[in-house]
Amino acid sequence: MLADTLVQVTLQDGQPRWIFIHIEIQGQRDSDFAHRMFTYNYRLYDRYRRPVASLAVLADDGENWKPTHFGYQLFGCEVGIRFPTVKILDYADQAEALLADPNPFALVTAAHLFTRQTKGDPEQRYRAKWRLAKLLYERNWDKQRIIDLFSVIDWLMRLPTELEKRLMDEVYTLERNVTMPYVTSAERFGIEKGLQQGLQQGLQQGLQQGLQQGEQQGMQKGEATLLQSQLARRFGTLPDAVRARLANATVEQLESWALNIFDAKSLDQVFDQD
């Protein structure tokens, strides 16, 4: 049995004492859930010999299901556990308050609720997802937080291909307006999709020529053109030497450099990581 998340923390008052926080996320009703919480708690305590706080987050649709305890008594011996439970459904009528809350978990909670509310309605989900995406940039959060939260929202709120492309175009425009100095999740998404398209375009061109050499040239040209566009978006106008290097690179080199864009902070680092 594996707990969903176990966090080792220290207290804010500076006491040199460790505790463990066990967070269990449950997406559907389970009659054995409270018993599992009890089992996780005592096994964790038995392993680490430190206090364990077990917390439950319920993401199911059952309005009346909210387990909070488990235990039993026998011959005067009492054993059990009481644990705090948060029901995401309880926040269904607090969407505006969640969106106004600076706590990043409020945004994730809103994304979960919007995902359920927009099931079967792609246009409504698109509007909700775009609203959440804009909030990521309006909060002036750091790079990693934006990437992490965007990834969670994107995973929860899946859209049809055309709507996903429209959303990415909107996010690209937003990023240009706020002049973000790094590659965000949206650009990673675009690079990955664009790389696939470049490969397909190059392959098609090569097949049309009917020669293996033409196929390789087509793939190389497609990838080189794509990578040149991504580098220009990230670092501005490219020197002639860089353009020449891309034009003469192999497909393998181009693919490697395209991946380096994710973490590079300068144009030189794209190639230095080779």
pLDDT tens by residue, 13-36:
877 677 888 999 998 899 999 999
- In 30-145, DSSP assigns E strands to 52-58, 69-74, 77-82, 85-87
136 closest CA partner among 123, 115, 151, 122: 151
- Supply the pLDDT for residue 230: 76
- Supply the pLDDT for residue 183: 46
- Supply the pLDDT for residue 185: 46
- Is this prediction's pTM over 0.85? no
Residue 201 has pLDDT above 70, yes or no: no
pLDDT tens by residue, 135-153:
888 887 877 788 788 888 8
Instruction: Mean pLDDT check: name the lowest of 23-37, 42-56, 131-145, 204-218.
Output: 204-218
102 closest CA partner among 139, 75, 77, 67: 139
Rounded to 5 degrees, φ, ψ at 67 are -65, 140
Q: What's the rounded mean pLDDT across residues 66-84? A: 95
Most confident stretch, 42-46, 158-162, 190-194, 255-259: 42-46
pLDDT tens by residue, 214-273:
555 666 677 788 778 778 777 777 888 888 888 888 878 887 887 777 677 777 887 775
